[in-house]
């Protein structure tokens, strides 16, 4: 049985994850017909796996227009909050054991005069691409797109595209 919270392999029939302690629900338990992996559920039928998108835990849909307006009205201060939230939300999808937090990513970007922001944009796209692949979707290389947008000074466009992807994940329509 695979924990939907941390992704760890556990013994079949376990009540709680032996690594993170998350209690298992009956939907998470392997019964020969389905097994849940993070935000995707793989169902077996006719020998081929079919992936059904499900809302990812703790990712909330945000209104992109409001985010842009708040970022402009506050002279970019709300953009920092948006940056931190984008980082934390994509970290939930990455299932890495200790990802860089949003606050740390912002400080690294600030200290390196924006250079870390290029790496950050590429990694966020990579995480979203890997998540799409885990759902069986063949995605484009968003990592390169976000990197190029960040380099040419259109980071806010990259933020909008990332938020749009996260909104789809939150809705379960990704």
Domain ranges for the chain: 64-171
Could you read off the pLDDT of 88-99 as tens digits, one per residue?
Answer: 999 998 878 889
> CA nearest 143: which of 55, 132, 153?
132
Tokens of 121: 């944009």
Q: Using pLDDT thresholds of 50, 70 and 90, give the confidence band for residue 31.
A: very low
Helix ranges restricted to H, 17-101: 64-73, 77-94
* pLDDT higher than threshold 60 for residue 53: no
Pick 36 or 26 by higher pLDDT.
26
Instruction: With a cut of 90, say whether residue 79 has pLDDT above it.
Output: yes
Range scoring the smallest mean pLDDT among 14-23, 65-74, 111-120 = 14-23
pLDDT of res. 42: 45
The tens digit of pLDDT for each residue in 146-157 reads 999 999 999 999
Using the predicted structure, report yes or no on whether residue 56 has a pLDDT greater than 80.
no
Nearest alpha-carbon partner for 9 in 33, 37, 32: 37
pLDDT of 51 higher than 60? no
Give pTM, 2 decimals. 0.67
Give dist(CA 108, CA 118) in Å, integer.
11
Q: Is the pLDDT of residue 118 over 60?
A: yes
């Amino acid at each position: 049985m695979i924990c939907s919270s941390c992704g760890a392999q556990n013994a079949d029939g376990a009540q709680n994850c032996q690594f993170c302690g998350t209690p298992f629900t009956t939907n998470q338990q392997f019964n020969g017909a389905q097994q849940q992996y993070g935000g995707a559920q793989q169902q077996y039928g006719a020998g081929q796996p079919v992936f059904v998108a499900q809302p990812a835990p703790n990712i909330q849909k945000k209104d992109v227009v409001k985010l842009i307006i708040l970022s402009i009205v506050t002279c970019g201060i709300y953009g920092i909050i948006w940056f931190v939230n984008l980082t934390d939300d994509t970290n939930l999808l990455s299932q890495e054991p200790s990802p860089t937090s949003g606050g740390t990513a912002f400080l690294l970007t600030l200290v390196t005069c924006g250079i870390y922001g290029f790496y950050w944009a590429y990694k966020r796209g990579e995480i979203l691409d890997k998540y799409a692949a885990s759902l069986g979707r063949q995605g484009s290389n968003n990592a390169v797109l976000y990197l190029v947008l960040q380099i040419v000074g259109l980071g806010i466009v990259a933020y909008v595209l990332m938020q749009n992807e996260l909104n789809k994940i939150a809705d379960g329509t990704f």
